[in-house]
Amino acid sequence: MVAEIPKVHMWHSEHLRLAVTAAGVALWAWNVDSDAFTMDERGFELWGLPWRETVTFEQLSAHIHPADRDRVRSAFAATRAVLGRYETDFRIMIGEEVRWISARGQGEDVGIVGRTMFGIFLDVTGRKQAEEGSELLAGEMSHRVKNILTIAAGLTAITSRSAHNTQEMARELTERLHALGRAHDLVRPLPNGQGNAALLGDLLSVLLAPYDDMGAFKGRIRVAVERMGVGEAAATGLALVVHELATNSMKYGALSVPTGTLDVSSTAEGENVVLKWLERGGPPVEAPDGAEGFGSKLVRRSVSGQLGGSIDYEWSEGGLIVTLRMNRGRLSS
């Protein structure tokens, strides 16, 4: 014989209390005539108030975020004209802490008992923060896509004027876009609205890593710079500059021979960060004759426009020396 499963015909008040506590729900009652609120202990804890028999709506309103206060007052005043269930989300201030509260109940006097309506408060801070994070990420992605499309269009126009044939144009454009991609891979949103940043040393190392593998030994490229953040806009400009310098070094400078070396270091100079690009062990180099090429124009435009600085070349007997001055504020933005 199969044992009969006992049926539960009613919930005990203790069971209900445990269920409400487990759900993190705060119970409230609102007298529509006196405007007095009665809440359980969880409700007072949620609002950051010491427990008392009743609390007025005005006392609660003092804790509502100023930007939400009028909206919440209007919402509660309108609840009696709302048919069926309603839900209102708003922020409250507990000292410096901001919490999101969801007030839920039934309107149009549904469920009213002795001029008192009943409902719940629920802490929805976690959900709201997740929603805000998703919105922030969506905006960030949209912003980045627009920037990348603008940059890609500009690079395409510049490369088309400097390339001698379609194959060369495709190769140069692809390399420049890959350099941008490697730079943007490092740029990540920082917590608490601090923006986006990558470490300068990490950024340079990633951009130059492909060229380090093309020599007779690994480690011929050395990066020794100060620890500081590089913002998204500056990372784009710096990636283009480093790519052009490395490409030229692969064609004519130290990186064109298996044993050539490259040192990249930095020093502080007032409000500027001075980056030194030092090539050694390559073939003799000479200053280019004739008009400045499109690659050089792109570099100077990036340095002055995005990095707020200047770039100087020294064609020494030992190899090319490039001095790149960048405004510290612009570099981190």
Residue corresponding to tokens 């490092």: 186
Q: How confident is the model at residue 109 (pLDDT cuts 50, 70, 90)?
A: low
Strand arrangement, sheet containing 320-327: 221-224, 261-269, 272-280, 320-327, 310-315
Regarding the domain delimited by 18-123, which CATH topology (the fold level of the hierarchy) does it fall under?
Beta-Lactamase (3.30.450)
CB 104 within 8 A of CB 77: no
Alpha carbon distance, N-terminus to C-terminus of the chain: 77
CA angle (276 as vertex; 183, 213 as ends), nearest 5: 55
Q: Calculate mean pLDDT across residues 11-24.
A: 64
Average pLDDT, the chain: 76
- Predicted confidence at residue 1, as pLDDT, reads 43
DSSP secondary structure code for residue 24 in this structure:
T
* Each residue's pLDDT tens digit, 36-64: 878 888 888 888 888 888 788 778 888 88
The torsion angles phi and psi of 267, rounded to 5 degrees, stand at -140, 160
Does the pLDDT at position 202 exceed 70?
yes
Positions of CATH 3.30.565.10 in the chain: 129-331
Which residue from 233, 229, 209 is spatially nearest to 273, judged by alpha carbons?
Answer: 229
Residue in 114, 122, 115 with CA at minimum distance from that of residue 27:
122
Alpha-carbon gap, residue 183 to 185, rounded angstroms: 5
Can you give the pLDDT at residue 88?
84
- Phi, then psi, of 269 in degrees rounded to 5: -140, 85
Angle subtended at Cα 29 by Cα 26 and Cα 33, rounded to the nearest 5 degrees: 155
Instruction: Report the alpha-carbon distance of residue 146 to residue 232 in Å, rounded.
Output: 13
Both tokens assigned to 15:
């069971």
Sequential DSSP letters for 29-66: EEETTT-EEEE-HHHHHHHT----S-EEHHHHHTTB-H
| pLDDT tens figures, 204-251 | 988 887 777 655 567 889 999 998 888 877 887 888 788 888 878 878
Fold of 129-331: Heat Shock Protein 90 (3.30.565)
Q: What is the spatial distance between Cα 142 and Cα 299, in angstroms, rounded to a whole number? A: 26
88 and 64 in contact (C-beta within 8 Å)?
A: no
- Where do you find CATH 3.30.450.20 in the chain? 18-123
| pTM for this entry | 0.47
pLDDT score for 225? 93
pLDDT of 151 reads 54
pLDDT, average across residues 165-171: 80
| Per-residue model confidence (pLDDT) at position 9 | 47
Q: Is the distance from CB of 244 to CB of 299 less than 8 angstroms? A: yes
